[in-house]
Amino acid sequence: MAKNKLKSTHEGQLTIGNVVVDVAVLEDGKRIITQTGVFKALDRPVRGTTRIDQIPTFMDAKGLQPFVNEDLISVINKVEFIGKDGKVNEGYDASILPLVADLYLQARSAGALTKAQFDTANKAEILVRSLAKVGIAALVDEATGYQYERERDALQVILKQYISEELLPWQQRFPHEFYRQIFRLNGWEYTVDNLKSRPGVVGTWTNKYIYKQLPNGVLEELKKQTPKDDKGRLSEHLHRRLTPDVGHPNLNNQIVSVITIMKLSKNWKDFDKKFNDIFGQTSLDLED
């Protein structure tokens, strides 16, 4: 059975705050955080059984279930792999960490947590701030040494990973919560009509806070490959040219990070400051 499992090509330890967790990169390029690593990062006791089918024990509390979304469901399956020591290890797609952190923050905001779960939510907030700055994939790459191989012919490799050769069918990629938070932070009334006729600056912000946070060159290549209409506007959604295995997951992770920062903010100026603090950027223009 072991011969059918993927092997790790790179392994290391990732420090998040005062916690050290084991991470790996598999031969198919998937970034993995070990099962015990997820528990350690969330400061949760390790439990081997779950109260709810298929839901990992670090997120199986009943009060959390209304906030479990499709992105999280897509990464909750354990991944078994062969470590460099030849032993079978268990872990999860590393993107589960920011998604679970956001899960606890949503539940906290809705008043759905028990008193005992507040410590985990506080830990989750620290995780979001730590992970949002660089992104979990980049942190795993650095911890395992994979970044040095990744950087060979970096731009072409990244563009090939992120950008699809074919235009993919349209799917809803930006959840309503993304726009709801933009409207809330700007003091705009959130209605169906207002959403349909939202100001053009929302598109500018989407590029700045979402697409520009993907690897350098991706946004530029997306724009280059996307035709414009007779008014000079992009004729298709940029995300339709992202690859489903790399581009879309990383886009989703960035959207989750930004929504989480939005939820922690009082207004747009506060959000912009928090975003810049986390991503280490100079202040972004709000109206260009």
Is 239 contained in some domain? yes
Residue where a domain stops, chosen among 120, 149, 178: 149
Question: Which tokens go with 269?
Answer: 């100026």
**Given pLDDT bands bounded at 50, 70 and 90, which one contains residue 63?**
confident
User: At CA 247, angle to CA 164 and CA 283, rounded to 5?
Assistant: 125
Q: Which domain holds residue 13?
A: 2-149
Judge if 130 and 40 occupy the same domain: yes
**pLDDT tops 70 at residue 265:** yes
Is 198 contained in some domain? yes
**Number of compact structural domains in the chain:** 2
**Given pLDDT bands bounded at 50, 70 and 90, which one contains residue 48?**
low
Give Cα 161 distance to the centre of its chain: 17
Q: Alpha-carbon dihedral of residues 9, 12, 15, 16, nearest 10 degrees?
A: 30
pLDDT for position 132: 61
* Most confident region among 32-36, 236-240, 278-282 by mean pLDDT: 32-36
Is 135 contained in some domain? yes
* Most confident region among 58-62, 143-147, 200-204 by mean pLDDT: 200-204
Higher-scoring residue by pLDDT: 179, 129: 179
pLDDT for position 50: 61
